[in-house]
Amino acid sequence: MRMKAAVTREVGHLAIEEVELAAPKEHEVLVRMCAAGVCHSDLHTLRGELRAVPPLVLGHEGAGIVESVGSGITRCKPGDRVVVNWLPACESCPTCLNGRHNLCERLARTTFQALLIDGTSRLSTVDGLRLKHFLSAATMAEFAVIDESSVVPIPDDVPFEVAAVVGCAVATGVGAVMNTAGARPGQSAAVIGCGGVGLSALLGCKLAGCNPIVAVDVLDSKLDFAKALGADLTINSAASENVAKELRALTGGGPEHAFDSVGAAATIGLAINSVRPGGTATIVGLHAAKQEVQIPAGALVLQNKRLLGSFAGSIRPRVDLPKLLDLYRGGRLPLDGLITKRYPLDDLGRAFADMEAGEVARGVLMLEPRA
């Protein structure tokens, strides 16, 4: 079948064009996409900064309706509303059996190579160029073929755009707080970087009962989003002479938790240096993914600090995504406030620009009228 999709044929080149999508094979599902979140990981990939390289179709946050299924399907049926799980764990390798589904041993040779889990693709351009599926998903398109393990059902009362962002930004941010760091009620917290993942971490801190919560960013617009979502205090790091000192002053000696959603060398250092003795710095972002970063050993050892990495919120997708959706339905995760702008697929370039300019908390591509 032919459909419109966000295609990057080579690094730095983005086009919305007609592509060919083959039918689902055994244990695969065809999903009519209704919403796709706009994430920095997609922009990093467009720029050649992550492991997956073009040519490919972008997108990994997404939700839609099952259109048809291949043989052997047991987890869904046509007509089901679903969120795309871009971490299709095998649930049988030693790492999965140890409870770390986000680190499934299959992911490195399939999902992170922008392939489906059988190591192949169902996508190609009209002129015959094979395209890969970014993070086994390729959700920035009218349709997507995904493995059955990438399908998680969603209740009828959850909007598609909310389900889409739960699949990555919310799972990553909230999961870092609840799963990786294990934040507890009454503990102070700082969130460094207030994009979609950082704001989701802020919501996770609220859910965990942290107090106070300090939001840190270089843009006042993002700090305004943070205030609206419940930050108690804010720091514009571009206007501060010493952010770590300010954090220590605002929290009576430093926050017990710092969540770095940026992951740059400078912000990693800030997270470690700002937490109080015995505190925990949790690194979530990937800006320094290909860099060597210096770590202050003295702060770790002499002050008994912890430095943690959190990939995709340390989630078990088929367990945690439904839990997050239930928290939204119960009013404990106010995710409607996280989505501040919606775009048609043709405006993806503008959506990326708005994200970089700090004009959105989270932008979402709407691929059909909201249900």
User: What pLDDT shows up at residue 49?
Assistant: 85
Residue 26 lies in a domain: yes
Shared domain check, 144 and 67 = yes
| pLDDT of 370 higher than 60 | no
**Domain match, 116 and 184 both:** no
Report the CATH number that the domain containing residue 250 is assigned in CATH.
Answer: 3.40.50.720
Instruction: Please report whether residue 197 resides in a domain.
Output: yes
Whether 371 is in a domain gets the answer no
pLDDT at 371: 42
Pick the closest to residue 54 from 11, 6, 112 (CA basis).
11
Predicted TM-score of the model (pTM)? 0.94
pLDDT mean over 51-72: 95
348 contacts 6 by C-beta, under 8 angstroms = yes
In the chain the beta strands, taken as DSSP E runs, fall at 2-8, 15-21, 28-37, 56-57, 63-69, 81-84, 123-125, 130-133, 143-147, 151-153, 189-192, 213-217, 233-236, 257-260, 280-283, 306-309, 339-343, 362-366
Return the closest-CA partner of residue 171 out of 367, 311, 58. Answer: 311
Q: Is position 116 within any domain?
A: yes
Write down the pLDDT at residue 346: 96
Q: How confident is the model at residue 326 (pLDDT cuts 50, 70, 90)?
A: very high
Q: How confident is the model at residue 51 (pLDDT cuts 50, 70, 90)?
A: confident
Domain carrying residue 291: 168-312
Asked if residue 22 is part of any domain, the answer here is yes
- 28 CB-contact burial (10 Å; exposed 0-12 / middle 13-18 / buried 19+): buried
Confidence of residue 291 (pLDDT cuts 50, 70, 90): confident
Same domain for 147 and 172, yes or no, is no
